[in-house]
Amino acid sequence: MINLFKWHINFTEKKRIAYGLSYYQGYWFSWYKALVFGVFIMWMLT
């Protein structure tokens, strides 16, 4: 489980740097992505 956690940290950090995002921009991107995904799930369930 620890290896998975370390892998995820390294993977997301590499992607953040590759896309040229700051931490703040990454947080907002994640928030919007979760919002869209949540709306999609609600749409599928109704």
Give residue limits of the domains in the chain: 22-46
Residue 1: pLDDT over 90: no
Rounded Cα gap, residues 42 and 38, in angstroms: 6
Its pTM stands at 0.68
Residue at token pair 């994640």: 30
Residue 25, pLDDT score: 96
Question: Quick one: DSSP state of residue 23?
Answer: H
